[in-house]
Structure formats: structure tokens, C-alpha cells
Amino acid sequence: MEVAVKNSQGQDTGRKVSLNEAVFGVEPNKHAIYLDVKQYLANQRQGTHKSKERAEITGSTRKIKRQKGTGTARAGSIKSPLFKGGGRVFGPSPRDYSFKLNKKVKRLARISALSEKAKNEGLIVLETPNMESPKTKDFVGMMKALGLEGKKSLIVVDEPNKNLYLSSRNFQGANVVTVSELSTYGILNANSLILSEGSVEKIQTLLS
């Protein structure tokens, strides 16, 4: 599979890159994608939720009324969940939501996501952007030229590009990551996946 390389003005450079069928041309495994996205979202959760149970409520422990003869149910503590201001029954407590996922499943999920993007023509190969200084105006111009204004886009570069990153921060919907930061969720959450020339080779080396 070959894809034309575009420059930052959205024009065809006349060059083409060859995409490895083993990375960009497989039949997507939807269950592997589901598991990897589920793990990614689970890892984002802080898990710091907490409510006080009856043992943690501040209050008197005296018996609030006599046991018999009142005509109502017996009650031993003002901290009972049955009373206003009492503890909560089986309330949330801090926990870790992360879970283990095998490396082979994660690799299959990323390959499936990349293949899905290539299949649906949501993949663009871009000449490595060379920004001399951080300028949002230049970044907006590049996105307009590529026809991606107002769309969610994920730009993948082979090595950290500080000027490109700083230029993209104020552009809503655009995200710049390196190959090592690429995730299945990030690929699928974007309308368009923009790969720099150098990142294509790195991705293929990493996943093939």
C-alpha cells in the first residue's frame, strides 16, 4: 500500500511512502480494540471517591432511646444509616481501576486501529513540519491547507517537536504526540491521523 506525501501547504510532494500490510492492512480485531480502549480509559480514573460509613461518622455513641415501649423500631446509634446525617451503607471507597493487558493484545489493537484508519482514508502522511518558532497562526494555516479545520486530528511525529507542540496547544481538536505516546484510543478518537514521514518507519519497526 502506497500513500502520497503532502507538505504543510497541503500539496502533493510527488513522493510516496510504502505502508507495511502487516501494520496498516490487517483485518481489524474489534475485541482487542475494545480491551485496549477500556484499559486506557480505566487508567485515567483517579479512583479517589470516598464516602463515610457509620464507623467514620462523628457523633455520640449513646443509645438514643429506650429499647422497648416506644412503639417504633429499636435504635442504638445516631450514626445509623437510617437517620439523617448517618453513615452511608456500602458507599464508594478508594480503589485502583487499572488492569493488566497482554502486550500482544495491545499490539494487535494498535495495528487494528491503524488499519481501520488506512481503510477508511482517515490517514495522511505529512512531510515533517519544520517550524522555526511557536506560532499558532502557522499551525492553523497548515490545518486549513490539509482541510482539517474544525476536525479532531492526531499528529504523530518521530521525535519531540517543541515548536509544533506549542503551536498546536491553542488549536481545538488537535493533538501532537510522539510514536511512543501513540495509543489505540488516540487513533480512534481522531477524525484524521497525520503521520510524519519519519514516524511511519518508526511505527512499522515498533509494531511489525
Q: What is the CA radius of gyration of the chain?
A: 27
Angle ∠(105,107,108) on CA atoms, nearest 5? 65
Strands of 20-165, DSSP E: 123-126, 153-157
Q: What percent of the chain is modeled with pLDDT above 70? A: 100
- What pLDDT does 10 receive? 80
Residue 42 has pLDDT above 90, yes or no: yes
Note the helical H segments in 9-89: 21-24, 30-44
Average pLDDT over the chain reads 91
How many CA atoms, within 13 angstroms, populate the side-chain half-sphere of residue 186? 16
Domain residue ranges in the chain = 2-46+99-207
Higher-pLDDT residue of 132, 135: 135
SS3 label, residue 196: strand
Per-residue buried b or exposed e for 153-183, using 16+ beta carbons within 10 Å of the residue's own CB: bbbbbbeebebbbbbbeebebbbbbbbeebb
Mean pLDDT to the nearest integer, 45-50: 95
Residue 129 has pLDDT above 80, yes or no: no
For the stretch 154-207, pLDDT in tens is 999 988 888 989 988 888 889 999 999 999 999 999 999 999 988 998 999 888
Higher-pLDDT residue of 50, 10: 50
Q: What percent of the chain is modeled with pLDDT above 90? A: 58
pLDDT band at 52 (very low <50, low <70, confident <90, very high): very high
Topology of domain 2-46+99-207, CATH: Ribosomal Protein L4; Chain: A; (3.40.1370)
